[in-house]
Amino acid sequence: GQNIDQPTEMTATEGAIVQINCTYQTSGFNGLFWYQQHAGEAPTFLSYNVLDGLEEKGRFSSFLSRSKGYSYLLLKELQMKDSASYLCAVSRNTGGFKTIFGAGTRLFVKA
């Protein structure tokens, strides 16, 4: 089996920086994804990490430490439209290639 843990909710101020953490336990690790999901919509891809380190893409960055089973998503210069759920998802290559999602972190950005 596997476990993916992330905080349920976070609140941050417009213009600030927020870090959303994710810890996981899995066999056959094959990469970690972050997705953004607005209410009532399908998830949209943000990042993919398969090697240790930081991947930066505009205002969003994602970090992975495989030895610690840990990742974070960093959002800079927060905007109101960033209010959404952020899903941490782990890809595994045992028992078929599957991507399993964490419960998601609901981020509220306030003015």
Among 3, 25, 44, 65, binds another protein (CB under 8 A): 44
CA–CA dist 9, 73 (Å, integer): 14
| x-marked contacts with another protein along 68-97 as a string, rule CB under 8 A | -------------------x-x-x-x--xx
Of 48 and 70, nearer to another protein (C-beta) is: 48
Which residues 4-43 are close enough to bind another protein by CB under 8 A? 30-31, 33, 40-43
Q: Which is nearer to another protein, 79 or 94 (CB)?
A: 94
Distance CA(16)–CA(108), nearest Å, equals 12
Judged by the rule CB under 8 A, the positions of this chain that interact with another protein are: 30-31, 33, 40-45, 48, 50, 87, 89, 91, 93, 96-104
